[in-house]
Chains A and B, each alone.
Chain A
């Protein structure tokens, strides 16, 4: 069965410093992986997705993630945090039917 584990429930960074949100996955086959962001009272927005092409995936708003099969990881990074990045972030894996399995989420706080 597919699953994802987000290693931090809450991450706090200062504006202008790097962001690292960690995600490990479990899959019996080559996975499709996604990062979604959810701002308060807003819907989920796709940041980026990995679909077995390039292992370094670039997304919107300066975010990127690297697929590492040997470590079963798909960590999300951004070189410099902005106040508007404060939100809940979900690492997601898709099963063969297209069903999405979400992690528990990581709340990102950005301090001025």
Chain B
């Protein structure tokens, strides 16, 4: 079974430029998550999807961040415009459901550097 796929693995951009990250979850997983991981810290949830619906986006900075999961499978997270403080690792995860006991499987992440 293929794992969660993310691309690109690394991205370097100038501040004020746009950037997009892509995630393809494990086949059959209805729930998809985007997390932000700052250096030396644990990941923090940005947004959670159940199929196509964003059911928890309370931590997503909506002035510059957006996400979509149009067909309920893969997802894109966008930042426009990027700021220096956005430098971090962006992780995607998926799970079969949303029960507290459901295991979330993580992709390798995209490391963003904003210059």
A and B from one assembly?
yes
Where the two chains meet, the residues of A that have a C-beta atom closer than 8 Å to any C-beta of B are 31-32, 34, 36, 41-46, 49, 51, 90, 92, 94-100, 102-105
A100 and B108 contact, CB distance less than 8 A: no
Q: Which of B42-50, B61-69, B72-80 contacts A (4 or more CB under 8 A)?
A: B42-50
- CB-nearest residue of chain A to B9: A41
- Please indicate the chain B residues that have their CB under 8 angstroms from the CB of A102 in the complex: 42-44
Total cross-chain contacts (CB, 8 A): 63
Cα distance A51–B95 in the bound complex, in angstroms: 16
The interface residues of chain A lying within 8 Å CB-to-CB of B85 are: none
Chain A proximity of B3: nearest CB distance (Å): 8
Chain A to chain B contacts (Cβ below 8 Å), 20 pairs: A41-B111, A43-B3, A43-B4, A43-B91, A43-B109, A44-B91, A44-B93, A45-B106, A46-B104, A90-B42, A90-B43, A94-B100, A97-B56, A98-B48, A98-B99, A98-B104, A99-B45, A102-B44, A104-B42, A105-B40
